[in-house]
Every structure is written in structure tokens, then in C-alpha cells.
Amino acid sequence: MKSYRRWLSAAVAGLVIFFGATQQLVADDSPATSEEAMEVEHDDAMERHLRHESLVQIRAFPTGLSLLSDFAVRQPLFDSENALLDGTYLDAGVTTGFSPAYAWGGPYIEILPVAVLNLRASAQVKNYFGTFGYLFVPDSDGLEGGDPDWGDDALDRAADESLGQSALGWRMELRATPQALVGPIVITGETSVHRMGMEFDDPYYEPYFDLLFAPEDTLFLTRPTVGYLHMFGEGAADGFLIVGARWERAVVREMEITRDTVGLVWNWQVPESMMEWGTPTFAGFGGVFVDHPTRGSVSPYLGMQFMFDF
């Protein structure tokens, strides 16, 4: 029987959508009321400023809950009317993640050198509390080939019997996101590589990525996405909706695990006039795992995300 604690606690991390990166491509091209107003807006846009972005992520299959935040200083890069250079920036700050199962944090740097390419590098120290059965170190005794058992039944048992182990670890990430807006068509190709380590001698199940890792391992992720953009007004400030299709592939090098996910994504930014203190966005990804290592040939995936930045 599945553990009700596992489902009700939402104990582990949520989905990773980052479809909101395409918001950088949606320029607010509403007409200025005067030349003076245009000049003031331009000068303000070129000033260095503090920036905060938080993502509340909820995942249904498998269950997860997390809060991810970036706190940074943003420096605009170019004073240009060129479409490729307008809005470019350099961010430097701290990124954090929290859930009932873990906390992590560390520095990051992000640069948008041209409008069609976002680059990011980060490093985090991770602390897992051992709550709700995570981190889970699976048992391979009695299994064919000695492969660790990290299926749903094993994860439920870990929650029921409080088998979670506390541990410290680290992760380094390099990410590149080519992105383009061609008429109403949005195209992104987020690709990242994660090098991570944990103070274990055996493979362990990591709940944020929902994958099995060796004590030191490398994860490759790619998320090509094609979507359709609908604007609700004359510019991004009036709100917009993006609906598209995504294929995600995750490859864990040392454990030789490959996982594919396909489905629909959506990203709705509400009008800025509805909230004075920030820009809220609702996003989601619903689809299926294809040939999941433990859940069979087809199994459901659903996650949602609420993001705000100011």
C-alpha cells in the first residue's frame, strides 16, 4: 500500500520548468506618451539594480514541493536599440532551494549577452535532512544483476519506515538556453550539465531530479520546446500566454540511466496592473514519462509553478 505520508507531505522537490526564460523575448513595445517619458524609462533601464525571483513548484507525479529563489544584482549590458542587444544583462548573486527534505544555496552568475542566448553557472552546497524517507539509499540485495531498487514501492517503504538519511553534498551547474521568438512562435532549447557529489559509498535516490545517482555523478539535461505566444495587449505588461510542446531527456552518466518526458507546457503572465509589487507568472508541464527506468513504458507526469520577480 502506498504511503499516505509520502503523498500528503509533498516532501521532496518539484519540477523544473524554466519556460519563463522566454519572457525575456517578449518586449514591452507599448508606445511612450512623450519623448521625455521615453528618455526617463531608457535611463532607468540602464541602471544597476537589485533583483529577486522566486519559484514555488508543486509536482503531482511524483509528489514534490519546493521553493527556489535568486537574489542578485543586475547590470544592463548595452545601451542599444538593436533587437539582439536590447534588454541584455549580467546577474550575480545567490541562489537557494528549500523543501521539507532539503536546503541548498550558493553563488551564481547569469548573462544574457544577446537576446537569443542565456548562459548561467552556479555552485551549491546541499543539506538533506533525512525526512520523509529522503535521501534514500536503496538496497540491491536479492535483485537480478545487483541493481539498486528505487521503484515506487521502495520509496514508499522508505517513507513508511523512516529510512531517510541525512547528508551533505554539492552540485555545480552549467546551463545554456538558446531562445528565439519568430512571430508568435517561441523556440527554446535549454541544455545543462550538473556535476554533483554526496557523502555516500553507494548509489542514492535524489528526490529533486527523481533519479538515481552514484556518489559522484554527472547529469545531462536537455529540454527543447516549441510554443505559441498570445499577447493580451500591446506589450508584455498587459500579460501573455504561451502554450507549447516539450521533450525532455535526462542522462545520468555513471549509473547509465536515461529518462525521457514528453508533454505540454504553459506559461501565463498576468498583467502587471494586477500586482504592484511584482510580476506573477503561472506555468506548468503535463505529460508522460516514456520508458521510465522504474515506472514502466508510460507513466504520468504533472507539475505546476508560480513565479514572481521584482
Cβ 94 vs Cβ 71: under 8 Å: yes
For 253, the 3-state DSSP assignment is: coil
Q: 259 forms bridges with which residues in the sheet?
A: 250
Cβ 194 vs Cβ 253: under 8 Å: no
Tell how strand 296-309 and strand 49-61 pair up: antiparallel
Task: Indicate if the pLDDT at residue 269 is higher than 70.
Answer: yes
Maximum average pLDDT range among 65-79, 140-154, 274-288: 65-79
- Tell me the three cell numbers of residue 136: 534514500
Quote the pLDDT of residue 30: 39
What percentage of the chain carries pLDDT values higher than 70?
Answer: 81
What predicted TM-score, i.e. pTM, was given to this entire model? 0.84
Residue 278 binned pLDDT confidence (cut-offs 50, 70, 90): low
- Choice between 275 and 236, residue whose per-residue pLDDT is larger: 236
Q: At the topology level of CATH, where does 4-43+56-309 sit?
A: Lipocalin (2.40.128)
Quote the pLDDT of residue 275: 65
Task: Indicate if the pLDDT at residue 183 is higher than 80.
Answer: yes
Return the domain boundaries, the chain: 4-43+56-309
Torsion of Cα atoms, 34 then 35 then 41 then 42, to 10°: 160
Residue 276 binned pLDDT confidence (cut-offs 50, 70, 90): low
Residue with cell 540511466: 257
pLDDT tens digits for range 112-162:
999 999 999 999 999 999 998 999 999 865 455 567 889 888 888 988 888
Quote the pLDDT of residue 45: 66
Radius of gyration (Cα) for the chain, nearest Å?
Answer: 21
Report the distance separating Cα 109 and Cα 90, nearest Å: 8
- 27-36, 76-85, 102-111, range with the lowest pLDDT: 27-36
Residue 271 binned pLDDT confidence (cut-offs 50, 70, 90): confident
Residue 57 φ then ψ, to 5°: -115, 130
When the pLDDT of each residue in the chain is averaged and rounded to a whole number, the result is: 84
Task: Indicate if the pLDDT at residue 53 is higher than 80.
Answer: yes
Task: Indicate if the pLDDT at residue 266 is higher than 60.
Answer: yes
- Tell me the three cell numbers of residue 118: 542565456
